[in-house]
């Protein structure tokens, strides 16, 4: 028997000596992200979805590309300008990445605009018409010109582009109309260029019927059509709509900033003046206008994107989410009462004292988190509240509750992360509001972003003393995104977890040194090593009879060290199952390196955002939740936490969720070794993970007596 096992091992032939640092083993981060956006695009092109759902995805594609150019493309251009010769994880220099990105995005834009034309055409058949000016009848034209002269014309500001020195600043991501003009009288002279910014104060769409959105036109089309009224004495030779994207990759060296609040204000304003990294222009633009705009923005042809249709499709989300046209949308999924709270009574303090509570958003309501915070703000026994805030909503009830608690005499300490990209201005506003209410507001540790999600409440209780109540989460304290993002939270009074959380808060606010953590692992000091240790442990306990198993559900996998550790695990026979929503720089299914690794990605109605990590550990299973992805920035440049879930029924529940994700054969994509993705083929009964999880939440909310479901098949499969 021993000889047979030894012979079986020798047949596996894992080349341990393989160079795991070879660029051939990795996928470029930017191209991997574009593959993710392509999966979003394919949902927009999916004719099996209702039309307004397709419109949502097409809008998201546009929004995603905006941020990609503002940060990722801008950062690469900065490297080229600085003469950087470094290569990325797969051996590409910044200039080579820019070339590949341009080619990939130009193809994506063509498919995107084609998809928009198709969806808009189909919507017109359903009575929801996005019209051009040429398609208006006499009555509609009269309504449009009346609106233009009374509401639009007075707020327009024509800018003589070739005469104003210096030329007024045009903000990035805002629409403009470029106009080529000739004088009406006198000798023919060189045409002049003027720019008309489209005011943000105007609604993007004009309803041609007052009762409901049925027939609408774009405001930029209305302006371009009547732009001649702004230039008396001139003839409009040509006009076109255009839009610029500016570099928003602004770094803050907070090691030497005495007033971070003021510094962030300045950095937000600085973005408006930075270099243009993309020029979008109507596909039928006059060549003279196109060349003038290229020269003015200092971009080359690679950075010009001609749009055969609507520029800035982000606004289509307003149409897709507007009331009405229910038959063109998916059925609504209302957040359910959390499974662990069904039939548990109304005393939230008592419930959390007796058991841990798992909250799976958005299938389950975010209300218990808000209820706990609101209770704490008025409970006379609550002494203090400590919370981290990375991103929150525009009219945040979280901020209201914290301010109310401080006004009621509670000791409230809030870490507001001012460096949360594109939320800086909002977070500056919230910081000032909280300070005015009497909260202690801090801005984190210099040189690091605080990305951990922690809410700690200290309550004086008779017969017990001070008890700590803790909420930890994979997602932000944002009541709006809690209805759109798939995240997991934990409510607990576990003494080890709450003691660690208290020490973590002290680490943020004072001079505390790191302690020997009981349950938490913290980035940037120990989290990377914890992952390495757990992966190596899995290798060490893996046998032929019970091979090791690592399961991770994350947003991104980019860190080279983690990739190499997973490659080593695969070479040693450990099964690695990865559910990676977006960027994945690891190449699966490479003979001798990663044939034991599979990578899937799910794109559906909710944004997959939770981070879940499972290690079989020779049968002594461990499962963790985290605020961190497997990216260098999370492991080395942010304050992150990893926390265990130990209550047996909750462990089983999380394993069940992972089981469901890997069973998906409707919305799942599989990563191939060449960096492209293919849809997972349907075998047997169709399984759509998000739909199944929602149906389970509905069933649990209506059946408090149900027995807990045991999920073993995910682990059993890998033991064969």
Question: Residue 208 pLDDT more than 70?
Answer: yes
What is the SS3 assignment for 509-542?
HCCCCCCCCCCCEEECCCHHHHHHHHHHHHHHHC
- Residues 627 and 499 grouped into a single domain: no
E strands, 446-571, are: 449-450, 454-461, 465-473, 485-492, 521-523, 549-554
Q: Is residue 85 part of a domain?
A: yes
Return the number of other C-beta atoms located less than 10 Å from residue 340's C-beta. 22
Rounded Cα distance between 77 and 309, Å, is 28
566 and 492, same structural domain?
no
Confidence at 421, pLDDT banded by 50, 70, 90: low
User: The tokens 């003393």 sit on which residue?
Assistant: 465
- On whether residue 18 sits in a domain, the answer given is no
Is residue 620 exposed (0-12), middle (13-18) or buried (19+ Cβ within 10 Å)?
exposed
Report if residue 17 sits inside a domain: no
H helical segments located in 395-491: 397-407, 424-437
Whether 276 and 392 map to the same domain: the answer is no
Beta-bridged to residue 470, according to DSSP, are 456, 492
* The pLDDT of residue 260: 52
Asked whether residue 10 is domain-assigned, the answer is no
Residues 293 and 362 in one domain: no
Q: Of 109 and 708, which is predicted with more confidence? A: 109
pLDDT at res. 212? 65
pLDDT higher than threshold 70 for residue 640:
yes
Closest by CA position to 173, among listed 271, 316, 79: 271
Mean local confidence (pLDDT), 174-194: 84
pLDDT computed for residue 9 by the predictor: 34
Average pLDDT over residues 105-123: 97
What range does the domain containing 502 cover? Answer: 353-509
Percent of the chain with pLDDT over 70: 90
**Encoded tokens for 205:** 């769409």
Q: What is the pLDDT of residues 516-548, one digit of tens each?
A: 899 999 999 999 999 999 999 999 999 988 999
| Nearest-angstrom CA–CA distance, 41 and 115 | 9
Residues 557 and 664 in one domain: yes
Could you read off the pLDDT of 592-610 as tens digits, one per residue? 999 999 999 999 999 999 9
Annotation says 440 is catalytic = no
Position 32 in a domain:
no
Report the CATH number at residue 98.
Answer: 3.30.1840.10
Q: Is the pLDDT of residue 1 over 50?
A: no
Same domain flag for 312 and 168: yes
- Residue range 497-505: mean pLDDT, rounded: 95
Q: Identify whether residues 362 and 489 lie together within a single domain.
A: yes
Q: What CATH code is carried by the domain that includes residue 413? A: 3.30.870.10
Residue 82 shares a structural domain with residue 208 = yes
Whether the pLDDT of residue 710 is over 50: the answer is no
Q: What whole-number distance in Å separates Cα of residue 534 and Cα of residue 542? A: 12
- Which of 41-55, 202-216, 225-239 comes out lowest in average pLDDT? 202-216
Residues 253 and 316 in one domain: yes
pLDDT digits (tens, 9 = 90+) for 465-498: 999 999 999 999 999 999 999 999 999 999 999 9
Q: What is the mean pLDDT of residues 417-427?
A: 71
- Running DSSP on this structure, what letter comes out for residue 299? -
**Residue 439, domain member (yes or no):** yes
* Residue 176 maps to a domain: yes
Confidence at residue 416, expressed as pLDDT on a 0 to 100 scale: 87
pLDDT digits (tens, 9 = 90+) for 441-469: 988 787 888 999 999 999 999 988 999 99
Tell me the C-alpha distance between 96 and 107, whole Å.
Answer: 17
Average pLDDT over residues 79-105: 95
What is the pLDDT, as a whole number, of residue 28?
98
Q: Which of these ranges, 127-131, 158-162, 238-242, has the smallest mean pLDDT?
A: 158-162
Look at residues 384, 431, 435 and name the one whose alpha carbon lies nearest to residue 408.
384
Give Cα 308 distance to the centre of its chain.
27
- Whether residue 210 is predicted with pLDDT greater than 70 in this model: the reply is no
The answer, yes or no, to whether residue 373 has pLDDT greater than 60, is: yes
Report d(CA 521, CA 431) in Å as an integer. Answer: 28
What is the pTM assigned to this prediction?
Answer: 0.91
Total domains, the chain = 3
Question: CA–CA distance from 360 to each of 463, 601, 720 (Å)?
Answer: 33, 19, 31
Residue 713 has pLDDT above 70, yes or no: no
Does residue 456 lie within any of the structural domains?
yes
Domain end point (choices 487, 509, 531): 509
> Which residue from 69, 107, 571, 45 is spatially nearest to 303, judged by alpha carbons?
69
Last residue of a domain, one of 509, 541, 576: 509
Weakest-pLDDT range from 323-327, 389-393, 419-423, 578-582: 419-423
Residues 134 and 162 grouped into a single domain: yes
What is the C-alpha separation between 614 and 625, in angstroms, rounded?
Answer: 9
Which of 468, 488, 509 is a domain's end point?
509
Predicted local distance difference test score (pLDDT) of residue 560: 97
Nearest CA among 268, 310, 265, 92 for reference residue 172: 268
- 499 lies in the same domain as 533: no
Given the DSSP bridges, would you call strands 304-307 and 357-361 parallel, antiparallel or unpaired? Answer: unpaired
Q: Is 402 helix (H, G, I), strand (E, B) or coil?
A: helix
Q: Do 295 and 371 belong together in one domain?
A: no
pLDDT digits (tens, 9 = 90+) for 15-64: 456 799 999 999 999 999 999 999 999 999 999 999 999 999 999 999 99
Of the candidates 451, 464, 609, 620, the residue annotated as catalytic is 451
pLDDT, tens only, 572-581: 999 999 999 9
* Residue with tokens 């990035």, as numbered in its chain: 172
């Amino acid at each position: 028997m021993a000889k047979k096992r030894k012979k079986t091992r020798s047949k596996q032939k894992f080349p341990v000596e393989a160079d795991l640092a070879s660029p051939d083993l990795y996928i470029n981060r930017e191209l991997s992200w574009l593959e993710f956006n392509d999966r979003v695009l394919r949902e927009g092109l999916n004719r099996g979805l209702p039309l307004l759902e397709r419109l949502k995805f097409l809008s998201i594609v546009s929004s995603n590309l905006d941020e990609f150019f503002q940060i990722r493309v801008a950062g690469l251009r900065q490297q080229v300008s600085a003469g950087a010769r470094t290569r990325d994880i797969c051996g590409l220099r910044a200039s080579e990445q820019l070339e590949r990105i341009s080619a990939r995005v130009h193809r994506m834009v063509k498919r995107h605009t084609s998809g928009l034309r198709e969806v808009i055409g189909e919507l017109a058949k359903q009575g929801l018409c996005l019209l051009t000016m040429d398609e208006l009848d006499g009555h509609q034209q009269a309504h449009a010109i009346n609106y233009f002269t009374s509401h639009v014309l007075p707020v327009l500001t024509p800018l003589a582009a070739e005469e104003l020195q210096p030329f007024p600043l045009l903000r990035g991501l805002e629409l403009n109309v470029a106009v080529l003009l000739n004088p009406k009288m006198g000798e023919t002279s060189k045409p002049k260029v003027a720019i008309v910014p489209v005011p943000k104060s105007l609604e993007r769409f004009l309803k041609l019927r007052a009762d409901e959105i049925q027939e609408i036109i774009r405001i930029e089309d209305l302006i371009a059509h009547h732009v001649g009224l702004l230039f008396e004495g001139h003839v409009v030779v040509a006009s076109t709509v255009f839009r610029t994207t500016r570099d928003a990759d602004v770094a803050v060296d907070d090691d030497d900033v005495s007033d971070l609040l003021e510094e962030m204000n300045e950095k937000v304003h600085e973005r408006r003046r930075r270099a243009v990294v993309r020029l979008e222009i109507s596909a039928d633009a006059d060549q003279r206008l196109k060349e003038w705009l290229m020269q003015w923005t200092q971009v080359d042809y690679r950075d010009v994107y001609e749009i055969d249709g609507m520029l800035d499709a982000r606004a289509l989300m307003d149409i897709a989410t507007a009331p009405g046209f229910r038959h063109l949308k998916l059925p609504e999924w209302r957040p359910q009462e959390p499974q662990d709270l069904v039939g548990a009574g109304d005393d939230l303090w008592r419930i959390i004292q007796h058991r841990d509570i798992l909250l799976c958003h958005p299938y389950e309501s975010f209300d218990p988190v808000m209820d706990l915070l609101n209770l704490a703000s008025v409970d006379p026994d609550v002494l203090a509240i400590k919370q981290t805030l990375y991103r929150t909503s525009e009219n945040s009830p979280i901020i209201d509750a914290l301010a109310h608690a401080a006004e009621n005499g509670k000791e409230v300490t809030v870490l507001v992360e001012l460096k949360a990209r594109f939320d800086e201005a909002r977070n500056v506003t919230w910081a000032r509001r909280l300070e005015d209410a009497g909260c202690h507001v801090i801005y984190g540790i210099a040189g690091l972003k605080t990305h951990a999600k922690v809410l700690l409440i200290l309550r004086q209780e008779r017969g017990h003393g001070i008890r700590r109540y803790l909420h930890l989460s994979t997602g932000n304290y944002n009541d709006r995104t809690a209805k759109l993002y798939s995240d997991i939270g934990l409510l607990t009074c576990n003494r080890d977890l709450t003691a660690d959380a208290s020490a973590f808060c002290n680490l943020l606010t004072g001079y505390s040194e790191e302690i020997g953590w009981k349950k938490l692992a913290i980035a940037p000091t120990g989290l990377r090593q914890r992952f390495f240790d757990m992966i190596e442990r899995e290798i060490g306990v893996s046998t032929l009879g019970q091979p090791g198993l690592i399961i991770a559900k994350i947003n991104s996998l980019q860190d080279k060290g983690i990739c190499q550790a997973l490659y080593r695990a695969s070479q040693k026979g450990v099964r690695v199952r990865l559910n990676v929503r977006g960027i994945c720089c690891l190449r699966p299914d490479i003979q001798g390196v990663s044939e034991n690794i599979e990578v899937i990605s799910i794109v559906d109605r909710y944004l997959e955002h939770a981070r879940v990590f499972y290690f079989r550990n020779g049968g002594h299973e461990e499962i963790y939740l985290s605020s961190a992805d497997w990216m260098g920035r999370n492991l080395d440049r942010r304050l992150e936490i990893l926390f265990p879930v130990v209550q047996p029924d909750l462990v089983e529940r999380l394993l069940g969720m992972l089981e469901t994700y890997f069973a998906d054969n409707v919305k799942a994509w599989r990563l191939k070794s060449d960096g492209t993705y293919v849809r997972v083929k349907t075998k047997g009964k169709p399984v759509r993970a998000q739909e199944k999880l929602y149906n389970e939440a509905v069933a649990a909310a209506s059946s408090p007596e149900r027995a807990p479901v045991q999920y073993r098949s995910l682990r059993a499969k890998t033991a064969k």
